Amino acid sequence: MPHSSWLKAAGAAFAVALATATAAHAAPAPAPAPELTAVTGVAAVVTLHYDDSRAGGWEAAIAAGVASWNRNVGNVRLVEAAPGTRAEIQIVATSGWPQATLGPVRPGGQVRVELGSQAVSQGYDKTRIATHEMGHSLGLPDTKPGPCSQLMSGSAAGTSCTNAVPNATERSRVESAYAGGLASLVPTDGRTLVDAP
């Protein structure tokens, strides 16, 4: 084989080997982007901020109430507002009976919770009171008369009741009120519910 033919054949073989090696180490073609679907199976979480800076003496009860709601409802998260920032839920200590604005409160909206010492002086449990009044902010009305197992039965359950956990129906109603994130929220009712016997 003449020298020039041999060089051409060797060059061609080298080019084929180089192309094969390059193809073997090349990055694979990107996969097509997955289609976005309207239903992802993940619930949108609505974050609501609360301000308890004017609820002196109720801090432990408020913390327990917030923990109860955050533990039992998946699509709403109660978070303490940073000092000087706006909060959807204003919590204050008063000398009267506990009361609250009926929600569900929207992010950017505002409701008021009054944690009244008159109920405590009558023997009612502070944590149940705080959790119950926050339930109003989340859109739950009173269910009076009702058993202790219903958080929203409030004072109707008597002073011996310390249950501060929403039952399945109460959890479901809050989940339904906040389903789909912001889009499905109805405006706050605006009524003030007083929890006196």
If residue 126 lies in a helix (H) or strand (E), which one and from where to where? helix 126-137
Distance in angstroms (rounded) separating the CA atoms of residues 100 and 116? 10
133 is catalytic: yes
For the stretch 148-184, pLDDT in tens is 999 999 999 999 999 999 999 999 999 999 987 654 4
Candidates 88, 114, 133, 170; catalytic one:
133
Min mean pLDDT across 34-43, 74-83, 103-112 is at 34-43
Examine the pLDDT at 20 and tell me if it is beyond 60: no
